[in-house]
Amino acid sequence: MDAGAFVQENKKWLVGCAIGGLVWMIASSVIDSIYSSRVRGTPRGALSEAYSQDTLASVVTEGEQLTADLARLKTELAFVVASEYSKWSGDADRHLFLQSRKLRRAVSESASDRDVTVDEKNLVWEPGTGVDQIRRILFGLDIIDEIQARLFDAHDQAKAHDEDAMGLYEIDSIKLEALRNRRSRGRSNRRGEIDLADWVAQQSVTLAFQADEPTIAMFLESCRKPSRTLILDKLQVTKPARPGEPSLCRATLSGISFLKKKD
């Protein structure tokens, strides 16, 4: 199975990943409007005066279905941050430093064990200042950690299937994109407007690596994992100029963490 076949066979999933966040946001908004204790300043109990019992029952049933769909979407699309990246005691800066060092070392050692070329200077993320920013960077590092683990696992699977397979040849770069969900100072929402920062946290990682096509395909297949899903935003696979050389894969992967609504 090559990367092109993977895209064709999983086209519905790839499109679903792209629109899943939007669907979740709309569903949440509808559910919240149904169960809100007040609707445009009117007490909840007054709903029975404005709508028939059949209409209200239908809306409640639809709301329950949306709730179930929301739970399913969250399970399929969410990336739940691991405790080592989301919890710590003591200084946040030191925790970020230690986790960064540990991650760089893990990538280097895994690559060395498999004769894969990688340069630590091509593992890139911002240093971070302040607890909130550090928390977002740690979220991104967890995504990078998951990416590198699945990439090396795809290499191991390819070699297990065919000991003469090339597998993963080189990791050219892994970069945490600029931090998302930054609020504009003094910005206030208009009535009825949804601020995504209240609902989801999302970080994206771009990577480029060289490998044979079975390894690329197995890595892409591994992106789907309940509660640890890596959403494929962009993908470009360039076939080698000559047989026996690795293909170049460039991809952008995102992790979405669903937040509790702020009051």
Write down how long the chain is: 263
C-alpha 254/C-alpha 79 separation (Å) is 9
Show me where the domains of the chain are located. Answer: 79-258
pLDDT of residue 224: 87
- ∠ CA 120-123-127, rounded to 5°: 110
Domain topology for 79-258? Alpha-Beta Plaits (3.30.70)
In a 13 Å sphere around the CA of 164, the CA atoms on its Cβ side amount to: 1
pLDDT of residue 12: 53
Residue pLDDT tens, the chain, 263 long: 555 555 556 555 555 555 555 555 544 554 455 445 444 455 555 555 556 777 777 777 877 777 777 677 777 788 999 999 999 999 999 999 999 999 999 999 999 999 999 999 999 998 888 999 999 999 999 999 999 999 999 999 999 999 999 999 999 999 999 765 544 444 555 655 666 666 778 999 999 999 999 999 999 999 988 889 999 999 999 999 998 999 999 999 999 988 765 55
pLDDT of residue 123: 97
pLDDT of residue 200: 79
C-alpha 87/C-alpha 142 separation (Å) is 12
CA 132 to chain centre: 19
pLDDT of residue 193: 60
* Residue 48: how many other CB atoms lie within 10 Å: 10
pLDDT of residue 40: 46
Give the chain's largest Cα–Cα span. Answer: 74
